[in-house]
A and B are shown apart, each in its own frame.
Chain A
Amino acid sequence: MAFFENIKDLLGQIGDLTQFALRFFREAFRRPFEIREFVKQCFNIGYNSLFLVITTGFIMGLVLTLQLRPTMLDFGAVSYMPRMIGIAIVREIGPMITALICAGKIGSSIGAELGSMKVTEQIDAMEVSGTNPFKYLVVTRIWASTFMLPVLVVAADAIGLFGSFLVEQAKGDVSFTLYFNQVFQALVYGDIIPATLKSFFFGFAIGLVGCYKGYYSEKGTEGVGRAANMAVVFASLLVFIIDFLAVLVADILFEI
């Protein structure tokens, strides 16, 4: 029974989240724009996640190459390694790893921050002092997360490919130029455009869920904890759903 309850709950949440998203679009393009807060949030989100994203990206590139290389050797296809890893990282692993890391890092921090602002009446205080808290807090964070995620994905891709190159060089004596020439030869717009678009959606979803959970956080300190926790769970789930939909749509559009 709990399973069906969960499904019902999820559908309800998606409904509320859609309402929240619609409010975002209504308020996002109307003056006044909180530019300073947006820039500050871009810096917060980008800078605070960069180290984590780079580390995981590097390790993924390294590990993936180490694991796949023996099999490719068996097939006598080891010269395809750069192309294969390039496509795997740019299309799927880079965006996905970055999005999941950020769902944890950004989703929970936005959820906890807005949640504690809610329960300590800081959001009410903003409201009575003539600043629209939805614009100031929510709109800026969702935009910042939407724009910073693709940037982080590019960083993860680059460092992941570099990790993979290190293995190729150590094991197969592949030069830097040769490796990256092969990678970029293999990549076509049909790989790069969907991956980039997908990253914007990941960023939007993570910001949206973090803000939604925080903004409607329940009273009390448990409420804040729950808001942060639910933000991570829900954002990660959405990332997978968006990934699936993106692959489906890209498959139709680019016929790969």
Chain B
Amino acid sequence: MSQNKTHDGKPLITLKDVIKSFGTNEVLKGISMELYSNENLVIIGKSGSGKSVLIKCLVRLVDIDSGSINVLGKSIPDLSQVELDKVRTDVGFLFQGSALYDSMTVGENLQFPLRRHKHRMRGQDEGQLISEALISVGLEHAIDMMPVDLSGGMKRRVALARTLILQPKIILYDEPTSGLDPITSNEIISLILNIQRKYNTASIIITHDMDFVRVVSDRIIIIQDGINYAEGSYANLSKSSDPKIRAFFKERRL
């Protein structure tokens, strides 16, 4: 368990014995975990170990086979569509490949989540919200550009702005720095850290970037063979003697 932060209060997210398979491919074989308020939980695991599937289960983009998932006090598998949509506005999702809508401009991309959640706009003007969100990621000039004309780093920022526009309480980041050069990665990382400080969000972050893990993580969960194999702070896990855990922290040598 994490030593550098005490978990006061109830967890925001609780998973118990979550099982999910696709046909004969058993991806999750009984995962249990919690996310507490204000914390950055990092999930690491080999490619194909089911990290993306796991966080998709949290917002019911993937239906689980068995187990229980509780997000912000709601049992996700049992919610009606309307209730589910309500929970989803509190949970931001940054997709692995940014997932910007190709047929829409940057501005329209940011406007899209607002269409169904006007009540969330706190009386603010739609255009104002959009430009504020773009300013916060440093892309106010790109409002009329199409996603194809953006670089990978710019896409990631727009996706980040789109995730933030409804001011979620929890943000799920699926490999926010993958495919970016180290400098752009660092920019994205400091954006993420700023967001954290500004809005006090709790996050689940999937990443392979161990430098990122070191600076951002309050707690780490290692997914291996479909279960949560190990858990702890960066300091603890990096000192572990278990070779399966050590493999993630080792310097790359070929």
CB closest chain-B residue, reference A34: B115
Q: Is B116 in contact with A121, judged by CB distance below 8 angstroms?
A: no
Given contacts A128-B59, A129-B112, A129-B116, contact A121 B89 (CB under 8 A): no
Distance to closest chain A CB from B23 (angstroms): 13
Chain A residues near B115: list those with CB within 8 A. Answer: 130-131
Chain A residues near B89: list those with CB within 8 A. Answer: 130
Q: Is B102 in contact with A127, judged by CB distance below 8 angstroms?
A: no
Given contacts A124-B95, A128-B93, A131-B112, contact A117 B102 (CB under 8 A): yes
Tell me whether B161 is interfacial, beta carbon within 8 Å.
Answer: no
Q: Is A125 in contact with B88, judged by CB distance below 8 angstroms?
A: no
* Complex CA distance for A113 and B103, rounded to whole angstroms: 9
Chain A interfacial positions (CB closer than 8 Å to B): 113, 116-117, 120-122, 124-131
Tell me whether B34 is interfacial, beta carbon within 8 Å.
Answer: no
Q: Is B102 in contact with A122, judged by CB distance below 8 angstroms?
A: yes
Distance to closest chain A CB from B120 (angstroms): 10
Distance to closest chain A CB from B141 (angstroms): 23
* Complex CA distance for A130 and B168, rounded to whole angstroms: 13
Instruction: Determine the main DSSP class of A at the interface with B.
Output: helix
* Complex CA distance for A113 and B102, rounded to whole angstroms: 9
Mark B108-119 against chain A: 1 for CB-CB distance below 8 A, else 0: 000011011100
Give the residue of B85, B99, B116, B166 whose beta carbon is less than 8 angstroms from that of A124: B99
Give the residue of A113, A120, A125 whose beta carbon is less than 8 angstroms from that of B93: A125
Distance to closest chain A CB from B140 (angstroms): 22
CB closest chain-A residue, reference B100: A122
- Given contact pairs A130-B116, A131-B116, a sample of 12 additional A-B residue pairs in the complex whose CB atoms are under 8 Å apart: A116-B102, A117-B101, A121-B96, A124-B56, A124-B95, A125-B95, A128-B91, A129-B88, A129-B113, A129-B116, A129-B162, A130-B115
* Complex CA distance for A110 and B97, rounded to whole angstroms: 22
Give the residue of B99, B103, B112, B113 whose beta carbon is less than 8 angstroms from that of A121: B99
* Complex CA distance for A124 and B163, rounded to whole angstroms: 13
* Complex CA distance for A92 and B162, rounded to whole angstroms: 50
Q: Is A121 in contact with B117, judged by CB distance below 8 angstroms?
A: no
Tell me whether B61 is interfacial, beta carbon within 8 Å.
Answer: yes
